[in-house]
Structure formats: C-alpha cells, structure tokens
Amino acid sequence: MAELRLTPTSHLVLGLIALAGRATPYDLKRAVAERVGQVWSFPHAQLYTEPVRLVSAGLLREERESGGRHRRYFVITSEGKAALMKWLSEPRSETVEIRDPGLLRLFFSDLLDRRGLQTLAAAQQRAHQKRLEALESLARSTAPQLYREPSLGPLRMGLLYEKAAVDFWRDIAAAKPPAKSRKH
C-alpha cells in the first residue's frame, strides 16, 4: 500500500483494466497502440512496470493464471476503481503539452536562411500529411457508426491537429520573404 503519485500512465492503466475487466500487460500494449498511443505514446516497458506499481498501491490485484501460460492478469480493486472515478470526475485543470519537434525548429528558424526554412516547412508538411493519412486509415478501420464514440476522441482530436498542421506548414512554405530582404 505504498503511497505513490498517480501519473497519466497510472490512469491509463487503471482505465484500460477497468474497461476490459482484466488484462495482461500485452493486452494494454495492444489497446494503447491502436488508439490513444497514436497521439500520446506510452512505451511498452511502462505497461509492464506500471501495473506492478499499482498493485503495490492497492489499486490493482494480480491474478496469475495457474494453468497454461501463467499469464499475469491484472484486475482493478475497489480502491482502484474509486481512484479512477475520482480522476475522471475531478474538474482539475491540467495543462496541455504539444510536443512537436517541428515547431521547436520553427521557433529557431531565424537561424536558417530562406532556403533552409523552405526545406523545413516542406518536410514538415509532408510528415504531417503522412501522419494524417495514417490516422485517417486507422479511423476508417473502425466501424463507421462508432466513429463518434467518445473513446475515439483522442484520435479525432489528433486528426484535427494534423489537418491544422498541414495547412499551417503549407502556409509557411508559401510565405513570401519579408520585404526588407527582397533586395539583399
């Protein structure tokens, strides 16, 4: 019952196990890979270690399969469920982090010449386009009537971001150089 801070990873694991009833770390890995993980990545190693932490906090319980493959199933405890529901209901205002390396580069584009900026913008536009298509194909692989399902939200928001990013970078790639540098 060690005290430990609940991180986003904790809530992810708690939530996935609550939804599934029980799950092995590999189940978690797959579930993450095809949904949230596309937008907010959680390395698989954590999906093996985090449940152990949560067991030590009394929020999960481990049920090792006695026969067959001895899989490690994790189940949520009532304390775990309570913690999860508390987090879900709490109106907490946490901050959003948009960690986009392309934007960080853009922030320093004054260090690049015009050509360099063009190259960056073109590459970013392409990358986001590709990503957009990947997410779209993922979204399409879902039954259409489920597309509006709230749990697909992260994916949908990811799509919105990628769409915006494609336009954003296209715009930058197309921008005319500032007047002052017209005649260098």
Partner DNA sequence: CCTATCATGTAATCCGTTACATGATTAT
Partner DNA sequence: ATAATCATGTAACGGATTACATGATAGG
Residues engaged in binding DNA (CB under 7 A): 4-5, 7-9, 24-27, 29-30, 41-46, 48-50, 53, 69, 71-72
Q: First-to-last CA distance in the chain?
A: 68
Instruction: Write down the least CB distance from residue 145 to DNA, Å.
Output: 27
Instruction: Write down the least CB distance from residue 158 to DNA, Å.
Output: 17
Instruction: Write down the least CB distance from residue 66 to a copy of itself, Å.
Output: 30
Measured CA to CA, the distance from residue 20 to residue 128 in angstroms comes to: 32
Instruction: Write down the least CB distance from residue 130 to DNA, Å.
Output: 20
Residue 177 interaction partner, one of DNA, a copy of itself, none, beta carbon < 5-8 Å per kind:
none
Instruction: Write down the least CB distance from residue 89 to a copy of itself, Å.
Output: 6
Element at 33 (helix H, strand E): helix 25-33
Measured CA to CA, the distance from residue 17 to residue 76 in angstroms comes to: 6
Measured CA to CA, the distance from residue 150 to residue 124 in angstroms comes to: 29
Residue 72 interaction partner, one of a copy of itself, DNA, none, beta carbon < 5-8 Å per kind:
DNA
Residue 58 interaction partner, one of a copy of itself, DNA, none, beta carbon < 5-8 Å per kind:
none
Nearest partner of 150 among 8, 15, 46, 50, judged by Cα: 15
Tokens matching residue 27? 């189940």
Return the HEC string of 82-95.
HHHHHHHHCCCCCC
The two beta strands, 72-76 and 60-64, are: antiparallel
Residues near a copy of itself, by CB under 8 A: 8, 11-12, 15, 18-19, 35-36, 39-41, 84-85, 87-89, 91-112, 116-117, 119-120, 123, 127, 131, 148, 150-151, 153-154, 156-158, 160-161, 164-165, 168, 172, 175
